[in-house]
Structure 1
Amino acid sequence: MNLRKLILTNNACFKSGKTIIPKAIMVHSTGANNPWLKRYVGPDDGLLGKNQYNNHWNQDKPGGRQVCVHGFIGKLADGSIATYQTLPWNHRGWHGGSGSKGSVNDTHIGFEICEDGLTDTSYFSAVYKEAVELCVYLCKLYGLSEKDIICHSEGHKLGIASNHADVMHWFPKHGKSMDTLRTDVKKQLEEENSASSVTPQTKLYHVQIGAFSVKANAEAQLARAKASGFKDAFIKYD
């Protein structure tokens, strides 16, 4: 995951200063044919590129709306894919309801995937992979699992979010769904947990501190070694 940070400090949502205890994740997509991060994240940090219309979301009410999410996935100026964190993860976002409303905002971290024309397989594969990795990162950060991940349309069906179609108007076009995303997140979490649970083989470093012609001196040194924690110390007679 190519994770970067540009907090939208001028957005009214950030300025509200409200925080939450993240309990789940909501996946969104932008609903517009514009895969460039600079459309939503700004100002230019040298990687995003300049937004000539200055209509990014780092302003009080972008387009006159109360809207803000915790992150965006899309294209940098050079065409590579990145994730930008745009709110502190524990900040109460405005992503699942009308403006500051919506109960999902009280519990979920929300991020947007920048849409293109919805038919580019290579772009979709790249942002899908990035979304899986972001979900894995957030699950590990807040002790969540794949079961705690939904999209906006699922949130609406649960009665906790506004009526949006994302991301199920896009994912199936490329043979994916929220179920496949949850499965991929679960698999990666299990792989990482398995790798971290493997105990590396302990290396033993043997130390020889010398030889003594007087037995009493050897025994005294042995006693000092054992007192210092060298339980396997012994005297070898040549």
Structure 2
Amino acid sequence: MIKRHYLTNNDCYKQGRKMIIKGLMLHSVGCNVENPMNFINSWNKSGVYKCVHAFIDEHDVYETLPHDYRAWHCGKGEKGSFNDGYMGVEMCEPSSIVYVSGSSFVDKDVEHTKNFVKNTYKVAVEYFAHLCSKYCLNPLAKNVIVSHSEGHRLGYASDHGDVEHLWNYVGLSMNQFRKDVFYTMVKNIKDESTKKESIVKILSDCIIAENMLINGEMSKIHTIKVENYNYVKLDDLKNLGLSVGYNKANKIVIINFVVSKV
């Protein structure tokens, strides 16, 4: 559930600087506080030089800024700041961990920690799928969804270790998160008759015409790159003499290469 708790007394909200949404950055709060209201109550005043678009706990999303307001969530790096154009979302952390140095922590209740982190992960997946659908963002495209630490490595955020410092501990990753956001977007498409077109639309900015050597000749083939895989458009190959069919009885794709006789 999305709850609205705008930080109307925060200087960032009062500034009301608008932006065009180009991407999403995921954060982790960096302390063992599970309740978003702790942050909302303490940040909703003047003189607090930080502000995000939303907080996430095990069950809900607490939106604290209008989506198109420029937030103060990631500082800046050597190339600039993803405060410009990126929504910033903070995930709360389990009370069972105690930080000892930087992003290192001691876990006093492993089961609670893992359950809490995985539950906030699920809420984050649903929320980011909602945002990507609303703003026509492709979660699998390069640098559309990033963590704070990824933003730093790209040169657009301060030097933080979140969210990987906590996710790696419980077996989660940003790559899996981006995939899960995409799969959730697909799952949420209710109209089966337009599902294929909707999926292509989500991925459309990843479709590129790439040179491929087909039967000894260079040809332009439309491909979609997802992680380490290249998906090719079969119609492009059909135009080069590839025979593509579908056996309904066995539910299997049939591909035949036409070999030219010399």
Structure 1 length normalisation: TM-score? 0.69
Say which of 67, 70, 93 aligns to 2:50: 67
> Which deviations, in whole Å up to 9, do the C-alpha atoms of 1:174-195 show, x marking residues without a partner?
11010110010111112223x3
Counterpart position of 1:133: 126
Partner of 1:175: 171
What's the secondary structure of 1:134's corresponding residue?
Answer: helix
C-alpha distance in structure 1 between counterparts of 2:43 and 2:158, whole Å: 20
Identity of aligned pairs, percent? 39
Report SS of the residue matched to 2:123. Answer: helix
Query: Relative contact order: is structure 1 or structure 2 higher (C-alpha 8 Å, sep ≥ 6)?
Result: 1
RMSD: 1.7
Quote how far apart the aligned CAs of 1:197 are.
Answer: 4.1
Name the counterpart of 1:198. Answer: 193
- 1:152 is aligned to 148
- The match for 1:112 is 90
Q: Rg: which structure is higher?
A: 1
1:28-48 deviations in whole A, cap 9, x for unaligned?
Answer: 000001111121123xxxxxx
1:51 alignment partner in structure 2: none
Q: How many residues align?
A: 174
Partner deviation per Cα, 1:139-172 (whole Å, 9 max, x = no partner)? 0110001131000000000001111110010001
Which residue in the other structure is 1:166 paired with?
Answer: 162
* DSSP 3-state at the match of 1:137: helix
Instruction: Give 2:117's aligned residue.
Output: 124
- Partner SS state of residue 170, structure 1: helix
**Aligned counterpart, 1:218:** none
Unpaired segments of 5 or more residues in structure 2?
98-106, 195-262
The one-letter code sitting in structure 2 at the alignment partner of 1:74 is: D
Q: By how many angstroms is 1:17 displaced?
A: 1.2
Uncovered stretches (5+) of structure 1, i.e. residues with no partner: 43-55, 76-80, 200-238
Q: Which has the higher strand share?
A: 2
- Contact preservation (8 Å) 1:61, 1:67: no
CA distance in 1, matches of 2:158, 2:115: 30
